[in-house]
A and B are shown apart, each in its own frame.
Chain A
């Protein structure tokens, strides 16, 4: 039995490979125990937690000159990209132009110089991020010209009664594209 075990066979085959695999397993165990999600160490708890605890949902959308930009007719990956990146951008706008790492880095690293360097490289610059709606509109098949009005909208739905009923909508940010 023991002789058929993967780690035993790997140990007999190559000591460095055995050490690498054992380190990988230990590191994975450590990240899982801390509920950390990393690229080679996925914390796959998708759908394990019900964060909303109700049948409501919300989504974001962009309007250009009052016309909504449609995204769901695109092929899967583009639809997914347009939907999730728009959600992320709207949260960024609502959070005073800050992404998750803007908060996480100062909390985790106390050295100000290091904080500055990490934030500079790991978060989008404000000037660059300002141009993002142009990419979004182009990707969705719309042309955004200087002077166009952009409105970021939030919509809330309730699906409890067997139909998707819109509860309310709000403009979270409005600007003129330059």
Chain B
């Protein structure tokens, strides 16, 4: 068990993490893609994923998008629960509700995006906190941490597996399709200028691609020690924000989950604790 001042310090750090979750959800609201704004969106396309199918077989996303009051109610409930959770981040029942509601939101959003966005850290961040007992919470945090590390390391692994690094033009080709709507609408600026530079300078693009693969590989250090978690978090955030700049893929929805690494020493088990 934690002593009083340690307990308060840890609580405050957790409050910061869940404030980021709140900001991420508010970004969905202000962008106009939260439950309320999906009302009337009648088109969706799912992948071959039975877990996603369960929600649609239960008719939940279809019913929510057909009833605006349900969307508004869900947005209100989610924001209220996050606020309550920021007040007390050890309320496991709130964490459980938030995990389920945000998972429902993620499934609904992906179905209507007609495109799989992997960044669902805003749901996963609650997994450790659905456990009431401190030891269980610590074990769940470690599992979630390994999942996070594997998510990024596997991305590097697949790039090596498919020999992506052997083609100098690989990244330039990928970059060429990322900003097309901006060109169509003549909404250009620094990012589109950089995009054009990347496409027309394959060696430069390739060197950035190699750097990103190395960055993803370095994250594997986290499997062996938690000593560098703060630096791993910084690297992942740099990776994500570079991705937004160069590829127009923003990490909004993933930031709080990554930020858990900043406080992993507080949330992890002491090795001797359970042996």
Q: What residues of chain A lie closer than 8 Å to B269, measured between beta carbons? A: 9
A131 at the interface (CB under 8 A from B): yes
CA distance A121 to B57 in the complex (A): 6
B side interface size, CB within 8 A: 79
Query: A-side binding surface: helix, strand, loop or mixed?
Result: mixed
CA distance A138 to B28 in the complex (A): 17
* Contact A68/B167 with A48-B161, A48-B162 known, Cβ cut-off 8 Å: no
Whether A75 lies near B31 (C-beta < 8 A) is yes
Q: Which residue of A lies closest to B209 (CB)?
A: A47
* Contact A159/B51 with A77-B252, A99-B45, A129-B43 known, Cβ cut-off 8 Å: no
Whether B146 lies near A39 (C-beta < 8 A) is no
Whether A55 lies near B33 (C-beta < 8 A) is no
B264 at the interface (CB under 8 A from A): no
B250 at the interface (CB under 8 A from A): yes
CB contacts under 8 Å to A, within B166-203, are: 167, 169-174, 176-177, 180-185, 187, 192, 195-197, 199-200
User: What's the least CB distance linking A106 to chain B, in Å?
Assistant: 13
User: What's the least CB distance linking B163 to chain A, in Å?
Assistant: 9
CA distance A68 to B146 in the complex (A): 46
Whether A52 lies near B45 (C-beta < 8 A) is no
User: Chain A interface residue count: which class?
Assistant: 35 or more
User: What's the least CB distance linking B229 to chain A, in Å?
Assistant: 15
Q: Which residue of A lies closest to B161 (CB)?
A: A48
Q: Which residue of A lies closest to B200 (CB)?
A: A162
* Contact A58/B164 with A52-B173, A163-B196 known, Cβ cut-off 8 Å: no
Whether A50 lies near B187 (C-beta < 8 A) is no
A176 at the interface (CB under 8 A from B): no
CB contacts under 8 Å to A, within B1-60, are: 27-28, 30-33, 37, 40-53, 56-57, 59
Contact with B along A79-111 (1 / 0, CB 8 A): 111011101110010000001110010001000
Q: Which residues of A contact B (CB under 8 A)?
A: 3-4, 6, 9-10, 12-14, 17, 21, 32, 36-40, 42-50, 52-59, 61, 68, 70-81, 83-85, 87-89, 92, 99-101, 104, 108, 118, 121-125, 128-132, 134-135, 138-139, 155, 157, 159-164, 166
Instruction: Identify 16 residue pairs between A and B in the complex whose beta-carbon atoms are under 8 Å apart, listed by A's number.
Output: A3-B271, A9-B274, A17-B136, A37-B47, A46-B118, A50-B167, A76-B250, A80-B250, A88-B113, A99-B45, A100-B45, A104-B48, A125-B42, A131-B40, A132-B43, A159-B195
Q: Top 4 closest A-B pairs, CB basis? A: A88-B114, A77-B31, A57-B177, A164-B183
